[in-house]
Structure 1
Amino acid sequence: MKGVLLVNLGSPESPTPKDVKVYLDEFLMDKYVIDVPFLLRALLVRGIILQSRPKKSAAAYAKVWSEEGSPLVVISKRMFEKVKPQVDIPVSLAMRYGNPSIYSGLKELADKGVTEVLLFPLYPHHAMSSTVTVLDKAEEIRKKHFPEMKFSSIPAFYNQTEYIQNLADLIKIHLEKFDFDHLLFSYHGLPERHIRKTDITKSHCKIDGSCCNTPSPAHEFCYRHQCYETTKLVIEKLGIPEGKYSQTFQSRLAGDKWLEPYTDVEINKMPEHGIKKLAVVTPAFVADCLETLEEIAMEANHQFKEHGGEEFMAIPCLNDSDDWCKTVSNWINKWASKK
């Protein structure tokens, strides 16, 4: 019997320093997130980061927390509830970090008699710290608890026609209500070394401005290429002219070189270049979360206006929109119908 496990990032149990510390420990100690030897990772995370960051992050989470809980989890559950009645096989929901766990999601499917599972990481673009860690953790749990299960996974859907159409339609609806000067595509950042590590050719990725536009097998797993491809395809759908849009990368840790240009740096420079009305979309996420609601809709908005900007629009993620839920359901049903 077939079934599907939808997996998103996860969230602390509450916006308190104690719960945020537990969450950050699980997240940052992941070898696919901070990819250095264990002892060095433990020293960095537990000896330095977790000594100060939980309090700061908890304050950020508190700004976006609702009565129902974490926006990411709440929205993911709403999407899940819309998808369930549209598919012909059992579906469960899990988070890579926190709850509901991947173990609980797989157990729910196993209890329904599912033996063949489609792992569906809810990330449009392939990355070590998103897609790979979900698949690796699920496999670890399968071997230990569900050895009879068989897994397959949905590939990155950054360029899939339905996803691009859903994203373009969402952006269009919001831009029709906003006389924007510029549309910014802000993707979650990654250390540059992650891009090189996922290069299956071991030679293509130079991160020099040309490799992402040069055809290569490396693109199947290249986060940077896939982000630029999403932007290109959406822009083609919307017909937005050159010069009226750009792409950046948000969120980064100090120390290593991360993908550039940086969202905060670019946004702060825009008003002096005549961009007074800015719209920002965050296609790396399918559900609004701390990075979209606090970092962009609140902090970037504030910084933009502090530097002379006048109007700012944070375009929401696909969330539980009917069209997006229909797309996910269609993909699941298509997989389920295969023999």
Structure 2
Amino acid sequence: MQKGILLVNLGSPESPDPKDVKKYLGEFLMDERVIDVPLWARNLLVKGIILNTRPKASAAAYKKIWWKEGSPLIVLSERLQNKIQKQVEEPVALAMRYGSMTIKKGLQELVDKGVDEVLLFPLYPQFAMATTETITVLAEEIRQQYFPNLKIESVPAFYNKPDYIEVLSNAIKNHLEGKNCDHLLFSYHGVPERHIRKSDITKSHCKIDGSCCVTPSKAHEFCYRHQCYEVTRLVVEKLGLKEGSYSTSFQSRLGFDPWLLPYTDRTIERLGKEGIKNMAIVTPAFVSDCLETLEEIAMEGQEIFHEMGGKDFTTVPCLNDDDEFVNLLSKWISEWTKTPIEIN
């Protein structure tokens, strides 16, 4: 068996031009696992409202963070891919869930190199319907339609793996060394509360009531909220942070349905009002810096904090192509090439 690896990230518009942004948003938001309402309602919301109002504003935001080499998320993902490829013998391809770098193209690239067994590696530490699940489901659909003889194994969520927590903690510690930080905010991408309940394999555990995420349950294997809070807990423990010097929040809400609380923008505002002068923010739901980290957090978040009287606002970069992170992913991949996937 010839093995290969397919890294998969979210995706990006081809450019910050409103037309390209509109095309990208259309594909992204019409995904039934992103906006999980009946097709007629999704069409009405996305094509009737959002795509007629949001692309221009989103394009302006993308222009603020766009690099000469292209989309930061794409560039950083490619750097990660290239570094991993130098450490493993098996071919490593890169794909995006949305946009022109399709999963089909990524699988085809590996098949053309003689690969018949693929390690599908969603670049998300936590499981969520709108990230990991939509990638694995689409990859299986493509496999059945175009590559029926291909075997695909998927890397499970690695949010609580000790070596991942160590790498993440080291990255935070190293970036904050020598900087003023009175409060560390862990900001995760938000999801509608109904996503948490839909992912509950027990159909009864996830009540989002403040206790379910800390009460042991099989539901935690697919509970995004639990996994986010668990990352915070494990990193706090690793860094020895004192109670009251950190908090957890969720960003990037859309629409009017209930989303996970507390919201990041309001948390930043609250911290500023409470007299916090020096804060740092880390975004552990993202592996690569992107619009949500470079614009929403580093720019908009900083503006809110300063308006509330804050002084120093530090954003901790995502792991991106950090050497420790590259070494960890390469180690996991090498272990898989020897045995069926079991990340320890």
Smaller-chain TM-score bracket: over 0.9
Alignment partner, residue 147 of structure 1: 148
TM-score by length of 2: 0.98
CA offset digits 1:301-328 (Å, max 9, x no partner): 0111011111100110000011101101
The answer for unaligned runs of 5 or more in structure 2 is none
- Structure-to-structure mapping, 1:77-92, within 5 angstroms: 77-92=78-93
C-alpha distance in 1, partners of 2:89/2:71?
Answer: 29
- Structure-to-structure mapping, 1:12-91, within 5 angstroms: 12-91=13-92
Alignment partner, residue 225 of structure 1: 226
- Structure-to-structure mapping, 1:163-174, within 5 angstroms: 163-174=164-175
Percent identical pairs in the alignment equals: 64
C-alpha distance in 2, partners of 1:243/1:99?
Answer: 44
Alignment partner, residue 293 of structure 1: 294
CA offset digits 1:212-248 (Å, max 9, x no partner): 0000000000000000000011111100100000000
| Letter aligned with residue 321 of structure 1 | D
Query: Is the CA contact 2:275–2:309 (under 8 Å) kept in the aligned structure 1?
Result: no
C-alpha distance in 1, partners of 2:213/2:272?
Answer: 29
Counterpart of 1:120 in 2: which secondary structure? strand
In the TM superposition, residue 151 of structure 1 has moved relative to its aligned partner by 1.1
Alignment partner, residue 133 of structure 1: 134
Counterpart of 1:130 in 2: which secondary structure? helix
In the TM superposition, residue 170 of structure 1 has moved relative to its aligned partner by 0.6
| Letter aligned with residue 170 of structure 1 | A
Query: Is the CA contact 2:159–2:227 (under 8 Å) kept in the aligned structure 1?
Result: yes
Counterpart of 2:86 in 1: which secondary structure? helix
Counterpart of 2:205 in 1: which secondary structure? coil
In the TM superposition, residue 36 of structure 1 has moved relative to its aligned partner by 0.7
Counterpart of 1:285 in 2: which secondary structure? coil
Query: Is the CA contact 2:180–2:312 (under 8 Å) kept in the aligned structure 1?
Result: no
Counterpart of 2:144 in 1: which secondary structure? helix
Query: Is the CA contact 2:202–2:218 (under 8 Å) kept in the aligned structure 1?
Result: yes
User: Are residue 323 (structure 1) and residue 324 (structure 2) matched?
Assistant: yes
C-alpha distance in 2, partners of 1:140/1:73?
Answer: 24
| Letter aligned with residue 248 of structure 1 | S
In the TM superposition, residue 269 of structure 1 has moved relative to its aligned partner by 1.3
C-alpha distance in 1, partners of 2:327/2:102?
Answer: 25
In the TM superposition, residue 179 of structure 1 has moved relative to its aligned partner by 1.5
- Structure-to-structure mapping, 1:169-248, within 5 angstroms: 169-248=170-249
C-alpha distance in 1, partners of 2:220/2:259?
Answer: 19
Please report the RMSD computed on the Cα atoms of aligned residues, expressed in angstroms: 0.7
CA offset digits 1:126-183 (Å, max 9, x no partner): 0000000001111111111111101110000000111111110010012212121100
In the TM superposition, residue 334 of structure 1 has moved relative to its aligned partner by 0.5
Alignment partner, residue 98 of structure 1: 99
C-alpha distance in 1, partners of 2:339/2:41?
Answer: 45
In the TM superposition, residue 99 of structure 1 has moved relative to its aligned partner by 2.8
C-alpha distance in 1, partners of 2:3/2:191?
Answer: 34
CA offset digits 1:11-70 (Å, max 9, x no partner): 000001000000000000000000011111011100000001000000000000010000
In the TM superposition, residue 272 of structure 1 has moved relative to its aligned partner by 2.0
C-alpha distance in 1, partners of 2:56/2:177?
Answer: 39
C-alpha distance in 2, partners of 1:187/1:34?
Answer: 18
Alignment partner, residue 271 of structure 1: 272
